[in-house]
Chain A
Amino acid sequence: MTVTIKYFGLVAEAAERFEEILELDGVLTASELKAQCLNGLAIADKESVQIAVNQNLDDKITLKDGDEVALLPPFAGG
């Protein structure tokens, strides 16, 4: 299956990309994909990064083909 990953803020900076399309095998939850994407990135507090699947902030979701996934660092609006 194919998912689109969007990177934001300090995650985009550490990953040196804003978006990529990933080919994934097998059954994977959002939290497993997050760990995989953040692995090796220079981010001090990986716990503070949230993952959204189709704009839904639930890391227990099982990914499916065509999902849009976003890796979101702490919010800083206002």
Chain B
Amino acid sequence: MDKKKPKKVFVQGAIPPEKIANSVANHQSKTEIGAHSIFLGQIRADEVEGKTVTAIDYTAYEEMAENVFHEIREAAFAKFDITCAHIYHSLGRVNVGELCLFVFTSSAHRKIAIEATNFFVEEIKAKVPVFGKEIFEDETHQWKVNK
């Protein structure tokens, strides 16, 4: 239905946990779905040389990032038999313990949904121009790099 319409991915600040529950609720009328797969990225309190990360401040090359998100969606729909897919990523400050990435795919069967979610997460980490400033408790920082 709305399978390939470009959607806005970025949200300002942390992704509220209620958004996940609402997304699930919004799919209960789609009875061809037999499986949802959800990935949630949460800010971890990493320790670096005795200092603890308290938040990540995300920035992005937004125009390019939205286009890359769209390309990843197109590739995912071409590759996997999924009913729908939703991605949300934070911009701005997200504190430890809060959510910064929400990937939600649905399919008739579990394997496809799980594989599609994994594809989205790996592609997002590798290809989307998002940058993360890890802020320590003393307000110093370092720049995050995806492994």
Q: Does B22 contact A (CB under 8 A)?
A: no
In the complex with contacts A8-B59, A9-B59, A75-B64 CB distance below 8 A: no
Interface string of B117-147 (1 = CB under 8 A from A): 0000100111111111100000000011110
Q: Which of A6-46 contact B (CB under 8 A)?
A: 6, 8-10
A10–B101 touching, CB < 8 Å: no
Supposing A9-B59, A9-B133, A52-B129 touch, asked if A77 and B89 sit within 8 A by C-beta, the answer is: yes
Interface status of A72 (Cβ within 8 A of chain B): yes
Q: How far is the CB of B70 from chain A (nearest CB, A)?
A: 12
Q: How large is the interface on A (under 10, 10 to 19, 20 to 34, 35 or more residues)?
A: 10 to 19
Q: Is B47 an interface residue (CB 8 A)?
A: no
Known interface pairs A8-B59, A9-B131, A52-B129; A76-B145 also in contact (CB < 8 Å):
yes
The residue in chain B whose Cβ has the minimal distance to the Cβ of A9 is B131
Most buried by B among A55, A73, A77: A77
Residues of A28-74 contacting chain B, CB below 8 A? 48, 52, 55, 70, 72-74
Which residues of B lie under 8 Å from residue A73 when comparing CB positions?
Answer: 131, 143
Residues of B within 8 A of A70 (CB): 61, 64, 129
B100 at the interface (CB under 8 A from A): yes
Chain A residues in 8 Å Cβ range of B129? 8, 52, 70, 72, 75
Q: B59 contacts A75, CB within 8 Å?
A: no
- Cα–Cα, bound, A70→B68 (Å): 15
**Separation of A6 and B132 alpha carbons in the complex (Å):** 17
Residue of B nearest to A50 (CB): B129
Question: Is B18 located at the chain interface by the 8 A CB criterion?
Answer: no
Given contacts A9-B133, A52-B64, A55-B67, contact A75 B89 (CB under 8 A): no
| Contacts A52-B61, A70-B64 supplied; 10 other A-B pairs, CB < 8 Å | A9-B131, A48-B145, A52-B64, A55-B61, A70-B61, A75-B125, A76-B143, A77-B60, A77-B101, A77-B125
Chain B positions within 8 Å of A, measured between CB atoms, are 41, 58-61, 63-65, 67, 89, 100-101, 121, 124-133, 143-146
